[in-house]
Amino acid sequence: MTDPVVVVDQVHKSFGGHRVLTGVTLSVTAGETVAILGRSGTGKSVLLKTIIALLDPDRGSVQVFGKNLHALDEDGRRKARAGIGYVFQGAALFDSLTVLENVGFAMYQQRRPEAEIRTEVMKRLEMVGLADAIDKVPSELSGGMQKRVGLARAIIGEPKLILYDEPTTGLDPLTTDVINRIILRLRRKLGVTSIVVTHDIKSAFTIADRIIMLEQGLIVAEGTPDDIQASGNLWVRNFITGHSPEIDTNGSRARIPAILVDPPVE
């Protein structure tokens, strides 16, 4: 049995009295791809940012590669993050830098030779189908292209763990398929461990070994794609079929999900 790469234990996180994560516990083993599904505003991005220690939990702990990043100072955190790729929900590119400089940012900081940086950046851009964009600036690219640049940047350092925050949202179906294939290839060829936050249920079923469903800051269902497909849990069924449980048949708003009265699948 390999050691888990990520262990999240009873993590709570609030912002000014607004409780976002309310006791999240999960563990991800080496080489595993876990998809996290959940409605907008339910704490998915906060969870990823807590894992990579951009946010600190109020309670509970997180271990990544056996290390508690939250116990480290900013410099220690930066070093630990070098082995982790992070695809931000927005592309989060530097507007004034070219694609080359954005994707190769970490290599420039390490003062690696220009020719080597260009070669490595080009390899990643070819993977995401953007070789032609290397000398452009973000404002010259579409939103979907910027997103792919963000993915290229996340995989430049050959990370062993990649956290993807909605890597395919807003992309056309063909580009979505390209991104899904990249995620699968990184796992198959390099044994990368991945956590993928997504709204794209089809992507989740395609790429994930395990699916975790988050609602109101808690994990409410967890299982293989087959388990989730076969789940009798009303909330899970509603989520994967895109049916809103908040709207009753008269069109008026009913109270929030049956989820908390309908036990999650084991």
Ligand X SMILES: Nc1ncnc2c1ncn2[C@@H]1O[C@H](COP(=O)(O)OP(=O)(O)OP(=O)(O)O)[C@@H](O)[C@H]1O
Residues that bind ligand X (CB under 6 A): 15, 20, 38, 40-46, 89
Cβ proximity to ligand X, 37 vs 156, nearer residue: 37
**Min dist. Cβ of residue 41 to ligand X (A):** 5
Q: Which does 40 bind (CB under 5 to 8 A by kind): ligand X, Mg ion, none?
A: ligand X
- SS3 at position 153: helix
Q: Residues near 105 by Cβ (< 8 Å), separated by ≥ 6?
A: 94, 97, 153
Q: Which does 41 bind (CB under 5 to 8 A by kind): ligand X, Mg ion, none?
A: ligand X
Token representation of residue 50: 């807590």
- To which H or E segment does residue 132 belong? none
Cβ proximity to ligand X, 38 vs 138, nearer residue: 38
**Min dist. Cβ of residue 145 to Mg ion (A):** 20
Q: According to the binding rule CB under 5 A, does residue 168 interact with Mg ion?
A: no
Q: Which does 109 bind (CB under 5 to 8 A by kind): ligand X, Mg ion, none?
A: none
Token representation of residue 47: 């969870």
**Size, binding site for Mg ion by CB under 5 A:** 3
Q: According to the binding rule CB under 5 A, does residue 198 interact with Mg ion?
A: no
Cβ proximity to Mg ion, 48 vs 62, nearer residue: 48
**Min dist. Cβ of residue 261 to Mg ion (A):** 26
**Min dist. Cβ of residue 64 to ligand X (A):** 18
**Min dist. Cβ of residue 160 to Mg ion (A):** 23
Taking CB under 5 A as the rule, which mask of x and - marks residues 89-118 in contact with Mg ion? x-----------------------------
**Min dist. Cβ of residue 37 to ligand X (A):** 10
Contact 159, 44 (CB under 8 A): no
Residue 41 gets the label, from left (phi > 0), alpha (psi -120 to 50) or beta, of left
Q: For the chain, where are the alpha helices, taking DSSP H only?
A: 44-51, 74-81, 99-103, 105-109, 114-127, 143-154, 173-190, 201-207, 225-230, 234-241
Q: What is the dihedral of CA 179, 181, 184, 189, to 10 degrees?
A: -110
Q: Please report where in the chains the tokens 């789940």 appear, as a residue.
A: 231
Cβ proximity to Mg ion, 121 vs 197, nearer residue: 197
Site for Mg ion in 63-92 (CB under 5 A): 89
Token representation of residue 76: 């220690």
Rounded distance, CA 49 to CA 84, Å? 12
By CB neighbour count within 10 A (0-12 exposed, 13-18 middle, 19+ buried), where does 129 fall?
Answer: middle
Cβ proximity to ligand X, 38 vs 159, nearer residue: 38
Q: According to the binding rule CB under 5 A, does residue 45 interact with Mg ion?
A: yes
**Min dist. Cβ of residue 12 to ligand X (A):** 13
Interacting residues toward Mg ion by CB under 5 A? 44-45, 89
